[in-house]
């Protein structure tokens, strides 16, 4: 039956070669050849159900029996026939569709037969010989692509060249699939994406840009299936583990590919690769943090204060980096990525740092008096939020930057408050009573913080800092009248009101004499009266 089918397929190709009107039969013959060969090679043969070297070695059929040779010879015949015909048919017809059909058949059949042989002989396991066959096939497609690019323009030549280039990358991807396993395949596909982007700058084949983005999408789907890349073998060593290679190398590859693709314009392919670069960079940082904090278990259900703080700091730092990169690139992907990271940092700070992981609400042990989790979770994010607000100044709506600055102010005030409570209550902040001296310290610290913000606003001429100072001082006034008046007793109550009054008088005098001072009216110099 196979011999008869081969003769009929050869006859079909010959008729289509002599009569261009029958070219459509080539596509049907190619599809039929792939289906027949896949069924013949992959169907459940009894010899595929017996494992060689089992309980009685040598008793069962070998995995390299005589039928494999028949598969190889027949596959070589079909692949050579379709591949050679698809290449030599270029330039023979004035109809643009005919050479495209020949080229598509010449690319599809060899790849389909190679996959069928791999499933039949290697049982979808790692196989270096099949990887070598795939590399040889890729070399053949690459040579065809190079020859076609040098020919004079004919109808359908550009599409046929793109199909040959597609076959080259597909064969290389198969070679990597056959030779590699686990995380190495992910890395290899990401590098192939960058390679396709580079080749697109050397050869004017638009489809290569699309292939680069398609390969990036395949790598993204791969990590959706298993975020640890290599499963439980990811290791427990912080930073230098499989996450670094499985996410770091693809991230670098996608960044390099995006820079190469940008040389020839901004399109959907470039944006896809840029999105993959940002995604892998963010996941690398976030997963490395989870891995280091949780002893290698990135699937741990909950996150603590330290992990949440690191995630917020990382998100703010990456948002700042994307904002700076956006100035040069103007990419909509960088724009959206920066906003999303800022939103994530804001949500994590609001619901995580200020509520779910708040050491004043929950029993969380704070080690160290000054170098502790409070510094990491509140002071550093406050500084990063301030830097981010200045990074977006003048380029985004004022409300966006002011909101980020307000969030930084809240975190800074929380750090001052929590640090004072740490000094009075020890490692567990939500235990013990609050005495007069502690309540008075809060008022003094908030007032000092407000005055410091005012001084900074005056020195750098920042209206935002002066407004923040006014907000903190107003909050302090409210605390003194609503809290200190009802809780403090004796000398602390008097000191609280006296200190607040003196500071308010000084601030009022300063605003009146310095900030709101009007320039004196101009008076002309004295001159003698005319006579």
pTM for the model stands at: 0.81
CB atoms within 10 A of CB 300: 14
188-243, pLDDT tens digit by residue? Answer: 889 889 988 988 887 777 778 888 999 999 999 989 988 998 888 888 999 999 99
Burial class (CB in 10 A: 0-12, 13-18, 19+), 103: buried
The strand pairing partners of 102, in sequence order, are none
Percent of the chain topping pLDDT 90: 54
Do residues 359 and 305 touch, judged by C-beta distance below 8 A?
yes
CB atoms within 10 A of CB 210: 18
Do residues 193 and 253 touch, judged by C-beta distance below 8 A?
yes
User: How many helices (H) and strands (E) would you count in the chain?
Assistant: 19, 0
Do residues 440 and 473 touch, judged by C-beta distance below 8 A?
no
Cβ burial 313-337 (10 Å sphere, 16+ → b, else e)? bbbbbbbbbbbebbeebebebbbeb
Average pLDDT value for residue range 307-330: 96
Give the contacts of 473 (CB within 8 A, at least 6 positions apart).
Answer: 447, 450, 451, 454, 503, 504, 507
CA distances from 513 to 38, 232, 462, 470 (A): 90, 68, 18, 17
Structure tokens at 526: 């004295």
Average pLDDT value for residue range 418-437: 92
pLDDT of residue 2: 83
Q: CB under 8 Å, gap of 24 or more: what pairs does 452-455 form?
A: 454/507
Q: Which residue has the tokens 């028949």?
A: 70
**62 phi/psi in degrees, rounded to 5:** -80, 155
6-48, pLDDT tens digit by residue? Answer: 999 999 999 999 998 899 999 999 999 989 888 876 664 444 4
Nearest to 284 by CA among 340, 244, 257, 228: 244
Structure tokens at 460: 């750098």
pLDDT of residue 46: 45
Average pLDDT value for residue range 440-464: 89
d(CA 305, CA 430): 15
For residue 262, the 8-state DSSP code is G
Q: Which residue has the tokens 């598969």?
A: 71
d(CA 340, CA 346): 10
Structure tokens at 53: 């070297």
pLDDT of residue 63: 46
486-496, pLDDT tens digit by residue? Answer: 787 777 777 77
Structure tokens at 79: 């692949």
Q: What mean pLDDT, rounded, does the chain reach?
A: 87
Percent of the chain topping pLDDT 70: 91
Crossing angle of helices 380-391 and 305-329, in 10° steps, is: 20
pLDDT of residue 528: 53
58-109, pLDDT tens digit by residue? Answer: 444 444 445 678 888 889 999 999 999 999 998 888 888 899 999 999 999 9
Nearest to 67 by CA among 92, 40, 86, 87: 40
335-386, pLDDT tens digit by residue? Answer: 999 999 999 999 999 999 999 999 999 999 999 999 999 999 999 999 999 9
Average pLDDT value for residue range 117-136: 88
pLDDT of residue 205: 75
Q: CB under 8 Å, gap of 24 or more: what pairs does 497-506 form?
A: 499/443, 499/444, 499/447, 500/443, 500/447, 500/476, 503/447, 503/451, 503/473, 504/473, 504/477
43-54, pLDDT tens digit by residue? Answer: 644 444 444 444
Nearest to 239 by CA among 190, 296, 282, 184: 296
d(CA 362, CA 121): 60
pLDDT of residue 44: 45
pLDDT of residue 61: 46
CA distances from 336 to 207, 251, 333, 418 (A): 26, 18, 5, 34
């Amino acid at each position: 039956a196979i011999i008869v089918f081969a003769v009929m397929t050869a006859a079909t190709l010959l008729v289509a070669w002599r009569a261009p009107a029958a070219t459509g039969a080539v596509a049907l013959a190619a599809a039929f050849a792939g289906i027949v060969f896949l069924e013949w090679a992959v169907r459940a043969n009894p010899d595929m159900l017996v494992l060689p070297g089992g309980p009685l070695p040598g008793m069962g059929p070998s995995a390299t029996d005589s039928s494999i040779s028949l598969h190889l010879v027949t596959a070589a015949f079909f692949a050579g026939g379709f591949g050679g015909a698809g290449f030599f048919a270029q330039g023979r017809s004035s109809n643009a569709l005919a050479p495209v059909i020949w080229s598509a058949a010449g690319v599809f059949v060899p790849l389909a037969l190679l996959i069928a042989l791999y499933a039949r002989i290697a049982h979808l396991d790692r196989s270096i010989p099949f990887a070598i066959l795939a590399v040889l096939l890729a070399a053949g497609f690459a040579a065809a692509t190079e020859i076609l690019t040098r020919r004079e323009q004919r109808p359908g030549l550009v599409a046929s060249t793109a199909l040959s280039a597609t076959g080259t990358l597909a064969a290389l991807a198969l070679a990597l699939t056959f030779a590699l396993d686990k995380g190495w395949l992910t890395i290899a596909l990401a590098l192939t994406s960058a390679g396709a982007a580079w080749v697109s700058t050397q050869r004017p084949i638009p489809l290569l840009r699309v292939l680069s983005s398609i390969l990036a999408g395949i790598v993204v789907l791969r990590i959706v299936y298993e975020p640890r890349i290599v499963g439980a073998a990811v290791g427990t060593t912080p930073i230098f583990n499989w996450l670094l290679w499985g996410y770091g190398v693809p991230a670098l590859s996608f960044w390099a590919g995006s820079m190469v693709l940008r040389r020839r314009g901004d399109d959907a392919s470039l944006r896809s690769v840029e999105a993959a670069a940002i995604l892998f960079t963010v996941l690398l940082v976030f997963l490395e943090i989870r891995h280091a904090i949780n002893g290698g278990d990135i699937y741990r259900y909950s996150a603590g204060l330290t992990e949440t703080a690191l995630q917020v700091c990382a998100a703010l730092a990456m948002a700042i980096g994307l904002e700076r990169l956006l100035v040069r690139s103007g990419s909509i992907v960088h724009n959206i990525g920066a906003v999303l990271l800022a939103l994530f940092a804001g949500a994590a700070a609001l619901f995580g740092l200020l509520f779910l992981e708040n050491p004043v609400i929950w029993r969380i042990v704070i080690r160290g008096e000054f170098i502790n989790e409070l510094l990491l979770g509140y002071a550093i994010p406050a500084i990063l939020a301030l830097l981010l607000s200045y990074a977006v100044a003048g380029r985004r709506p004022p409300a966006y930057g002011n909101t980020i600055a307000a969030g930084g102010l809240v975190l800074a005030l929380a750090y001052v408050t929590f640090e004072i409570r740490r000094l009075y209550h020890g490692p567990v902040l939500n235990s013990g009573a609050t005495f007069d001296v502690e309540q008075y310290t809060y008022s003094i610290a908030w007032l000092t913080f407000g005055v410091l913000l005012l001084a900074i606003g005056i020195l750098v001429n920042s209206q935002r800092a002066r407004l923040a100072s006014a907000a903190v001082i107003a909050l302090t006034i409210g605390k003194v009248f609503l809290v200190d008046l009802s809780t403090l007793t004796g000398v602390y109550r008097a000191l609280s009101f006296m200190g607040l009054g003196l500071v308010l008088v000084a601030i009022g005098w300063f605003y009146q004499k310095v900030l709101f001072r009007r320039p004196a009216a101009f008076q002309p110099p004295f001159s003698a009266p005319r006579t």
